[in-house]
Amino acid sequence: MRVITLAALALFATACSATSVGTVAVEQRAGLVVAVGGGGTPEGVIRHVASLAGGAAARVIVLPQASEVSDGQASAAMWREQGAGTAEVLADLGAVDAAERLRAADVIWMPGGDQTRLMARLAEHDLIAAVRAAHAAGTIVGGTSAGAAVLSEVMISGSPEPLALRGGAMAPLAGLGLLPWAIVDQHFVERDRLPRLLTAVLDHPALIGIGISERTAALVDGRTIEVMGEGQVLVVDARGAAAPRAAAGALQTARGVTLHALAPGERAALP
């Protein structure tokens, strides 16, 4: 008589629970997030991401609504030139199949402009949830300049009012929340935006600031950042700092804020 141990029974039960009608359940994983700091996206970044998305089989949807002047066709052409199979502009967010097209995409790409305008247009047509669902199911989501700023949950825009490093000076706007642990800023080195990002981080010290230079990409997989392109990505981390919350308009103070400067080819795993 064959003796079946409790361990064997447990193994069999586990295998059965992962199998349904002859298929094995596969853990769903969120897609890569690609944030470019504006100033033009290096071809190598687009080529790399297109390859990750399936190359000639990759389906790219471009959302150009951040801009009042660009129709997004140049961005779509850029993706096709760098190896994506199809790249189409979703110009009409009110189309009946808009959400379906987003969910079917391998890449959702958002060019620059005004991040508040982009979020308003997506909200107007109830498509924020569709972008989030696509990303949660594995779609790569990214953008440049304004299209990068919307990727975090707390989104910053404009200049600190009245001044940087004062409590509440950077209004916390709502982004897509694909990086719920971060605040993304762009044109970072070129426009001297460290005070702006640090102001936002000290108002939200549980979040990590990611400042991205122009023609530079931060590829974020989970909590690991890989840098591509021509410039730097700066990471501002106040989670372990002594950073008491400042009253509105009062001077912010902090001790022990950590700053990382990452160059192309470097990566950092954030705890």
Q: What is the pLDDT of residues 15-59, one digit of tens each?
A: 333 433 344 445 679 999 999 999 999 999 999 999 999 999 999
* Mean pLDDT for the stretch of residues 132-146: 98
Q: Where is pLDDT greater, at 113 or 1?
A: 113
Residue with structure tokens 């919307």? 150
Q: How far apart are CA 202 and CA 166, in angstroms?
A: 9
Structure tokens given for 43: 């071809």
Please choose, from the candidates 217, 219, 214, 172, the residue with its C-alpha nearest in 3D space to the C-alpha of residue 196: 172
Residue 9 has pLDDT above 80, yes or no: no
- The single-letter DSSP state of residue 152 is B
Domains located in the chain, CATH noted: 29-269 (3.40.50.880)
Q: What is the pLDDT of residue 27?
A: 63
Distances (CA, A) of 40 to 111, 150, 229: 10, 17, 10
Residue 138 has pLDDT above 60, yes or no: yes
Contact 243, 257 (CB under 8 A): yes
pTM for the whole structure: 0.89
* Segment 81-98, tens digit of pLDDT: 999 999 999 999 999 999
- The single-letter DSSP state of residue 161 is S
Q: For a pLDDT cut of 90, what percent of the chain falls above it?
A: 87
Structure tokens given for 94: 């009110």
Side chain identity at 259, as an amino acid letter? L
Q: How far apart are CA 264 and CA 266, in angstroms?
A: 6
Tell me the pLDDT of the chain averaged across its residues: 91
Q: How far apart are CA 138 and CA 77, in angstroms?
A: 23
